[in-house]
Chain A
Amino acid sequence: MSDQRVLTLRVLRSSPGEGLAPHWEDFRVEEAEGMTLFIALNEVRETLAPSLQFDFVCRAGICGSCGMLIDGRPGLACRALTRDLGPVITLAPLPVFELIGDLSVNTGKWMRGTAERLQTWIHAQAEPDLTALEAPMEPALAEAIYELDRCIECGCCVAGCGTLRMREDFVGAVGLNKIARFRLDPRDTRTDEDFYELIGDDSGVFGCMSLLGCHDVCPKGLPLQTQIAFLRRKMASTGL
């Protein structure tokens, strides 16, 4: 490839466990055809900096592990093609989440806390009969639930939310999306009154300032804008 570029990956490195203060470090990598940031970072780790920390599992935008700030915007390293980026690419860990080191953050801890706070699981009145056939569900409804269930908890919406950056107790789009998902599910017997208890305040849906960073950076293209607006209408009518 005649016009092959040499990319500079400018990585914000740190290691809180070892007391290493945050600092920028540049790594030069030859760009390859169809290269993703995930591939470039692996090359850096294999050839230049074995201690470089970043997370990945699936390499296909499914696991949500490789979320990071790419040139300041949250995104998945495995889905970011280097050809769409400039010759100097800045990479930083996602804010809000507990920093493990370099580009690695503990999204799991934050997500679990949100799941516990919002009780994002099916609440049924009766214990299920494990021997009985599950009640059928309309395909359209199942698809609507599945659409919201596509969230991979990568944390991009959290990092892209100005409200959450200012007010750390805000539930964020990931939490509101989960509420919308369980609200749709007929197996969950909770009512809007019950959901109001969880998100009917300024750290819940009424705290959302509709900045839409969540919607615009979501790597899965979830309909966060419409879901949050829908929840806001429902919770407002419940709260009146």
Chain B
Amino acid sequence: MASSLEQSTVARPVSGEPTMNAADAALPRHPRLRASRWPARLDLLQSLSGLLLALFLIAHMFFVSSILISPQAFHTIARFFEGAAFLAEPRPWIVSCVVGVVMALFMLHAWLALRKFPASFRQYRIFIEHKEQLRHSETGLWWIQLWTGFALFFLASVHLFGMLTQPELIGPYESADRIWTGNMWPIYLLLLFAVEIHGGIGLYRLALKWGWLQGADPLAGRRRLRIARTCFSLFFLGLGLVTLLAYVQLGIAHADRAGERYVPHKASSRLAEHGRPGGLEFALSRRPGE
């Protein structure tokens, strides 16, 4: 560290009163006393883990929404992730491994994000007061992100644990039964809103935090990012709701055979016998056990 002009020309303080030189003492000069590099690493890790989770979220939504094409399409994708394309037979533990990695990322991200949460009731109260006083959109967005993140601690954990321990139960009938007969749809509905809102805001704030995609005019760049954030959340919320509805519909139709695994050729012959089990009216007209 270079010695400063002030250091060389201004006398050291004789009393405890702060002077322009007093702060120099706080600046470590010896290499062993240099500031920790961990704050930088943790900040990067928080952003990186959030980015990876958001990318996973996007891919995950497209995979699960393949049910909108057909049960067979979702079945094919689910088996693909079990290695069906390159192994003799599907291995669900491969999915468990992927879920394990996602879970580790999720826990890391949650732990790092906790550093930013209000650490005491006093901080919590001050922030609420500040937010209500300032009426500032970006400050409000952070508060939404905090609460959706808090909700995800529970909602995402339930989902991830289920996928970790029962990867073989990912399939058109299996997932639909879990959602409808297994009464998981309220959790998935809340999870959908929490994760899409959190992810949308998170990606937007990530770009602002690191100064990405701001262009020549940062204010215009922020407006563009805001539009992109709204489109992102609306698109994935819409896609997620339609997808969830499709699973509910299939779950209702399959309720009397809940627990039965999806087997492509059986499903085709059943369809041939009884016609396609589709249409919300048809599904809702049936009751479990009917």
Contacts and interface: CB of A to CB of B under 8 A. Distances in A.
Contact of A119 (B4, B8, B40, B211): B4
A57 interface: no
Interface in A117-167: 117-119, 121-125, 127-128, 160, 162, 165-167
A210 to B, nearest CB: 4
A91 B136 CA distance: 18
Contact of B142 (A202, A209, A226): A209
Report the contact-size class of chain A (Cβ under 8 Å from the partner): 35 or more
Interface residues of B, number: 52
A77 to B, nearest CB: 17
A162 B133 CA distance: 11
Interface in A87-142: 95, 112-113, 115-119, 121-125, 127-128
Contacts of B6: 121
B44 A213 contact: no
A223 B218 contact: yes
Interface in B34-52: 34-44
Interface string A223-237: 101100110110110
Contact of A239 (B39, B115, B142): B39
A211 interface: yes
Given A128-B5, A209-B142, A211-B138, A201 B36 contact: yes
A162 B209 contact: no
A83 interface: no
B117 to A, nearest CB: 10
B142 A197 contact: no
B219 to A, nearest CB: 9
Interface stretch (B24-32, B64-72, B192-200, B231-239): B24-32
Given A216-B138, A240-B40, A113 B18 contact: yes
Contacts of A69: 133
B139 interface: yes
B4 A236 contact: no
A43 B3 CA distance: 51
B279 interface: no
Interface string B177-202: 00000000000000000000000000
A193 B33 CA distance: 13
A201 B35 contact: yes
A64 interface: no
B208 A212 contact: yes
A117 B208 contact: no
Contacts of B9: 127
A208 B208 CA distance: 12
A150 B23 CA distance: 24
B116 A209 contact: yes
B2 A125 contact: yes
A210 B28 CA distance: 28
B43 A236 contact: yes
Contacts of B5: 121-124, 127-128
A172 to B, nearest CB: 14
A81 interface: no
Contacts of B22: 116
Contact of B37 (A202, A233, A239): A239
B205 interface: yes
B133 A121 contact: no
B134 interface: yes
B118 interface: yes
Given A197-B34, A233-B211, A225 B4 contact: no
A206 B211 contact: no
A115 B20 CA distance: 8
A211 B211 CA distance: 13
Contact of B126 (A165, A189, A196, A201): A165
B57 to A, nearest CB: 20
B287 to A, nearest CB: 50
A198 interface: yes
A197 B27 contact: yes
A225 B139 contact: no
B27 A72 contact: no
A202 B130 CA distance: 21
A32 B38 CA distance: 57
B266 interface: no
B40 A162 contact: no
The 3 closest A-B pairs by CB, nearest first: A239-B40, A229-B211, A72-B133
10 contacts: A69-B133, A73-B136, A119-B27, A121-B6, A165-B126, A166-B130, A196-B35, A197-B34, A201-B39, A217-B136
Interface of A: 69, 72-73, 95, 112-113, 115-119, 121-125, 127-128, 160, 162, 165-167, 189-190, 193-194, 196-198, 200-202, 204, 206, 208-213, 216-217, 223, 225-226, 229-230, 232-233, 235-236, 238-240
